[in-house]
Structure 1
Amino acid sequence: MSATIRPLPDILINQIAAGEVVERPASVVKELVENAIDAGATRVDIDLEEGGVRLIRIRDNGSGIAATQLPLAVSRHATSKIASLDDLEAVATLGFRGEALPSIASVSRFTLASRRADDEHGAALQIEGGKLGDVLPRAHAPGTTVEVRELFYNVPARRKFLRAERTELGHIEEWLRSLALARPDVELRVSHNGKASRRYKPGDLYSDARLGETLGEDFAAQALRVDHGGAGLRLHGWIAQPHYSRASTDQQYLYVNGRSVRDRSVAHAVKMAYGDVLFHGRHPAYVLFLELDPTRVDVNVHPAKHEVRFRDSRLVHDFVYRTLKDALADTRAGMSAHEIGTGSVAPEAAAGAAAAAGWELARGGASSLGTAAGGGGFGNWRGQQSPLGLQVADAPAAYAALYAGGTGAGPAAALPPMPSEHGLPVTSAEAGVPPLGYAIAQLHGIYILAENAEGLIVVDMHAAHERIGYERLKTAHDGIGLHAQPLLVPITLAVGERDADTAEREAETLVALGFDVTRAGPGSLHVRSIPALLANAEPEGLLRDVLTDLREHGQSRRIATARDELLSTMACHGAVRANRRLTVPEMNALLRDMEITERSGQCNHGRPTWARFSLAEIDRWFLRGR
């Protein structure tokens, strides 16, 4: 018996669409607030009851809707935002499909009220379960109010899958937090069950206040500003320093042309950029805005607009990776978050400051222990440490004079004193104190204690020396490049047809990575050479992983990662060990090396290498001044 084909009623069509667009109350808030912002609103009030299940009311001060167009606004696929395929390919608004209002109205008791600025009065339209009422006049301020009551009241199967009130409210708050980061120019006021719960005041895009109130003061304090453009792309925003990491991905926000999205390619690029500076099992935190020509990105690939598709995903991936990798390379020890990326402590400047202070560092290998003449230290020193019976504020100046190596500078005591924030005399020589200061002691053979202009610096000497050696090994090996080692007996590797296609298509890329691979059949490859540095690794598994990366992300860092792991092990074994007693010149040379080494704020495994304690903070430990 053949089935009868018949058209679906409009109400059922809208309810099916609601299944894609309206997942929970947070989905309703998202669609309605985005409409408000597209209408030019600068203030949006969100009133909720019972986590949005009982009531969602969105009021804005946008451009409003004409009374005659209210019924059209809640009809399917009706929108003012696109009119042609060209508009769709270059859409710049948050909403554009025209499905949200009819879908929401089909599963709730829905009221739409609006007024344009030049209208004498507003108008309202009520819809219950998808059935339209009449348009009636109503007093209303300029703007629009959308009221959604009893969500899913007529679809009980959907309603029973909603979570507890606190959970649903949490989803709404999380989305509003994401919006607040992207649109700080819009004021957002939220109330729940009749009580004001949150207010995001309008501000500047790069306002630390908005960043602090959304993600917390800790993130704001540890965030690095990123802003880089090239190849028609611009990436700007904030990334957290590696030591500020998370157990989950809860503080990862990506916006493409102002739209909050999830993208596997960009997420992979960020993860790669944090590759050897993040502790195992931890996740980076970031707020990133990617801007590009709207015609180069397709936003119409997900019903809820959560995902996008890039025309050239490989270019985007590589651009994000290199931008963040370079930004993280500036995380040298001794720099504060606001200094990183500003050129405050460039390697050349740090090296010049070191030379001016009277030291010349050995640069020969992963470990410079034992290379200094007459002392077996990290560098060649012209001065010897002598006991210093000085006041706290005079010590850094005296250290500078000690290591100036006969530059003619007078003793620190002869320098004119200047007041400091702690009421102690500060000499003018303090302006030239290096970021990590000067070593004053070694603690339990593990930590170096140093004094700088602000207070106390504590350095894990093994972790710091390990990073220094690792970065030198990487630099040296990068200069040599990846060499291929021919195999005496070529390997025949059975792979899937997709991997074989990838190997054939990416043959040049594989050669650059050290693999000589040719296709032997629909699902097999001949491997004739492998990267020489990884000759003892398992080539079959490594090649399969590389092919997977090339297919999914357009490039692979597997070889570089495997190489870096090997170099990291070498650096770890070459680093100074705990309980090794260092002389003061050796400790100071290590501090200077840290200041000019990329990523020296973390060891190879992502652990921090140093910590700073200001004098004001130490004063609080002992309740001074209270």
Structure 2
Amino acid sequence: MTIQDRNISPAPIRQLDEAAINRIAAGEVVERPASAVKELVENAIDAGAARIAVDIAEGGKVLIRVTDDGHGIAEADLPLALARHATSKIDGTDLLNIHSFGFRGEALPSLGAVGRLTVTSRAAGAAAAAAISVEGGAIAPPRPAALTRGTVVELRDLFYATPARLKFLRSTRAEAQAIADTIRRLAMAEPGIGFTLRDLRDGDARTVLRLDAETGDLFDAMRARLSRILGAEFAENAIPLEAEREGVRLTGYAALPTYARGSSQAQYLFVNGRPVRDKLLSGALRAAYMDVLPSGRYPAAVLFVDLPPVEVDVNVHPAKAEVRFRDAGTVRGLIVSGLRHALAAEGHRASSTVSGAMLGAFRPQEPTADGRPRIYQMDRPSPQARAAAWTAQAPAAPAPAPMAGFDEPSARYAPPDPPAAPADPAPDAHPLGAARAQIHENYIIAQTAEGIVIVDQHAAHERLVYEELKARAATRSVPAQALLIPDIVTLPAGGAETLLEIAEDLAGLGLVIEPFGPDTVAVRETPAILGQVDAARLLRDIWDELEGTGGDALKARIDAVLSRMSCHGSIRSGRQMQPQEMNALLRQMEATPLSGQCNHGRPTYVTLRLADIERLFGRT
């Protein structure tokens, strides 16, 4: 069908008016109330504010008010502040050397185009304050106002000038949560600034978020701020990061692998203090935790990447949520290596949430009918009762057989001293204590100075073997043992071809295979560190792991192979261990990086403090 058939004539090209241009621009900059809050709070931060207060009503759809104590805006500059592409942040000669959040001069004009905007400000040193209003793009002249210092930006009836946009907003609760999340992200990067978020309902102001300014050095202030935002649990299980390479600096906190989350919502990434959502940074974070997290689990981290502004382009997204690095490889390598070194430095440490979950699974004895816990006299025995109890519980001394000619022994029989047992390490001499028992042929019970440690022997040894294999593989020094009779292994369709493609790399790991027919390989050598191993089962597991990694890089595929090998070379569940073996395993765990979790991200041990155990028995 042609244009003539549809009876449509081409329309002439015309210049859009300023109001239409502003409304179109607002659609890119202001997607929802949270976007407006982000722009206004960033302006307050750029103004040097020490305290920022945000008031909202109906999830920001009815009212958004941002108050700061920054340097303010001069009365003569107020009309220009509402003009498009007018800014004090840059002079336009260099769009790469940007040191501020805002630089385009689009936020206030865009908000004024789709809502009722009022800006009240008093510049530092000014005799009085002034206010200016804009409604649907129409700007009123400045007028006198009352304000002691800083700036107050009030936005009412957002999107009233573009009613169609209101239909795309979510519920009031969802929009309010998005605003709170936006403020939290900005507050993470500015621990020295105080933030307050209030929700105005029916004349009442409910404080949703209050973050006082933190003091101290960078890491102390950051840790305190993150503890308030993400919770004390994150702060307890996070490790500080500080690394630098070629002018790029990485700081922040990353959680232990055993504190993994079920989604990536606990990942916060910042570039030069600006919160971003960048695939490069997210991928580097995922790669750093690659062999310490199970499938479907995500690390929790707050990472700050700082580099010269000319090395990163922040002008690639309307909301400035994405960035582009000039040398992306250096940034990615710094994140991966910095995180891995920090995690390795923590050694055997595991998250406190594992112990907390274990305590939560315990069920102490039910209370009495009146709801009070049972009280036992033995909990606080008197000295006389304690002495009597010890006497009653003392083992009875065996009496000797009567000697010929005597009806009763003339003296008590003293049993011989028991043979001296081998000395165990003192419980307070090592972080993981001294082994005391093995239960169910899989769990080692160790006593520490502050409580007990329960170790999963198979998971712990699996990590130890894995780390040793990786260290040997890095130097191509994995010793192999030749099989007297090669094992012939038949694999599923395509399995043999997949393994033979990396046969040279497998040989470097001590596993030598050769083709032996359709979907069949011959295993001639196996890694000596694994001891006796079921070659058929090992090859099938390696093939499964390679299929799971898909087209990942060779390093990831080799690590997957090593992970499977270590599983086959570890102490199996059901094996009884001698005390010397158990203590040797504990000492090796203390000296091995990442020994707090196995190759699949599961914890290798849990710690129970004596105070927690006593609490379970009502001794507190």
Q: TM-score range by the shorter chain?
A: 0.7 to 0.9
Q: Which residue is 1:590 aligned to?
A: 585
Q: Which residue is 2:613 aligned to?
A: 618
Q: What amino acid does structure 2 have at the position aligned with 1:582?
A: M
Q: Which residue is 2:224 aligned to?
A: 209
Q: Which residue is 2:101 aligned to?
A: 94
Q: Which residue is 1:450 aligned to?
A: 446
Say if 1:333 and 1:610, in contact at 8 Å, map to a contact too: no
Q: Which residue is 1:137 aligned to?
A: 144
Say if 1:335 and 1:435, in contact at 8 Å, map to a contact too: no
Say if 1:62 and 1:144, in contact at 8 Å, map to a contact too: yes
C-alpha distance in 1 between matches for 2:305 and 2:421: 45
Q: Does 1:259 align with 2:255?
A: no
Q: Which residue is 2:495 aligned to?
A: none
C-alpha distance in 1 between matches for 2:123 and 2:475: 66
- Displacement of 1:145 in angstroms is 0.6
Q: What amino acid does structure 1 have at the position aligned with 2:160?
A: Y
Say if 1:334 and 1:436, in contact at 8 Å, map to a contact too: no
C-alpha distance in 2 between matches for 1:570 and 1:434: 29
Q: Which residue is 1:377 aligned to?
A: none
Say if 1:44 and 1:189, in contact at 8 Å, map to a contact too: yes
Summarize the alignment of residues 374-523 of structure 1 with structure 2, pairs less than 5 Å apart.
Answer: 402-403=423-424, 433-480=429-476
Say if 1:82 and 1:96, in contact at 8 Å, map to a contact too: yes
The DSSP-based 3-state class of the residue aligned with 1:89 is coil
| TM-superposition CA deviations, 1:15-65 (whole Å, max 9, x none) | 000110000000000000100110110011101101110000001101011
Q: Does 1:195 align with 2:203?
A: no
Q: Does 1:18 align with 2:29?
A: no
The DSSP-based 3-state class of the residue aligned with 1:243 is helix
Give the unaligned 5+ runs of structure 1: 338-388, 390-398, 405-428, 483-509, 515-531, 547-556
Q: Which residue is 1:559 aligned to?
A: 554
**Could you say which structure has the larger radius of gyration?**
2
The root-mean-square deviation of aligned C-alpha atoms, in Å, is: 2.8
The DSSP-based 3-state class of the residue aligned with 1:563 is helix
Residue number among 251, 255, 280 corresponding to 1:240 in the alignment = 255
Say if 2:349 and 2:594, in contact at 8 Å, map to a contact too: no
Q: What amino acid does structure 1 have at the position aligned with 2:34?
A: A
- Displacement of 1:84 in angstroms is 2.8
| TM-superposition CA deviations, 1:517-543 (whole Å, max 9, x none) | xxxxxxxxxxxxxxx9999999xx99x
Residue number among 305, 322, 330 corresponding to 1:307 in the alignment = 322
Identity of counterpart residues, as a percentage?
A: 48
Q: What amino acid does structure 2 have at the position aligned with 1:198?
A: L
Q: Which residue is 1:49 aligned to?
A: 57
Q: What amino acid does structure 1 have at the position aligned with 2:617?
A: F
Aligned residues: 483
- Displacement of 1:606 in angstroms is 0.7
Residue number among 73, 77, 86 corresponding to 1:65 in the alignment = 73
Note closer, same or farther for the CA distance 1:402–1:334 as it changes in structure 2 (3 Å cut): farther
The DSSP-based 3-state class of the residue aligned with 1:145 is strand
Residue number among 81, 97, 102 corresponding to 2:89 in the alignment = 81
C-alpha distance in 1 between matches for 2:228 and 2:424: 45
Q: Which residue is 1:368 aligned to?
A: none
| TM-superposition CA deviations, 1:92-117 (whole Å, max 9, x none) | 10111100000011000111110113
Note closer, same or farther for the CA distance 1:334–1:10 as it changes in structure 2 (3 Å cut): closer
| TM-superposition CA deviations, 1:520-570 (whole Å, max 9, x none) | xxxxxxxxxxxx9999999xx99x976xxxxxxxxxx62122112222112
The DSSP-based 3-state class of the residue aligned with 1:85 is coil
Q: Which residue is 2:595 aligned to?
A: 600
Q: What amino acid does structure 1 have at the position aligned with 2:468?
A: R
C-alpha distance in 1 between matches for 2:505 and 2:14: 58
Residue number among 182, 189, 195 corresponding to 2:189 in the alignment = 182
Q: Does 1:609 align with 2:616?
A: no
Say if 2:445 and 2:452, in contact at 8 Å, map to a contact too: yes
C-alpha distance in 2 between matches for 1:570 and 1:314: 31
The DSSP-based 3-state class of the residue aligned with 2:41 is helix
Q: Which residue is 2:312 aligned to?
A: 297
C-alpha distance in 2 between matches for 1:140 and 1:459: 63
Note closer, same or farther for the CA distance 1:33–1:328 as it changes in structure 2 (3 Å cut): same
Superposition TM-score, scaled by structure 1 size: 0.73
Greater Cα offset, 268-277 or 568-577: 568-577
Say if 1:245 and 1:284, in contact at 8 Å, map to a contact too: yes
- Displacement of 1:430 in angstroms is 6.5
Q: Which runs of at least 4 in structure 1 moved beyond 6 Å after TM superposition? A: 532-538
Q: Does 1:226 align with 2:241?
A: yes
Note closer, same or farther for the CA distance 1:117–1:10 as it changes in structure 2 (3 Å cut): same
Q: Does 1:125 align with 2:132?
A: yes
The DSSP-based 3-state class of the residue aligned with 1:235 is strand
The DSSP-based 3-state class of the residue aligned with 2:88 is coil
Summarize the alignment of residues 335-354 of structure 1 with structure 2, pairs less than 5 Å apart.
Answer: none
C-alpha distance in 2 between matches for 1:336 and 1:464: 15
Q: Which residue is 2:412 aligned to?
A: none
Q: What amino acid does structure 1 have at the position aligned with 2:213?
A: P
Note closer, same or farther for the CA distance 1:284–1:10 as it changes in structure 2 (3 Å cut): same
Residue number among 335, 346, 360 corresponding to 1:320 in the alignment = 335
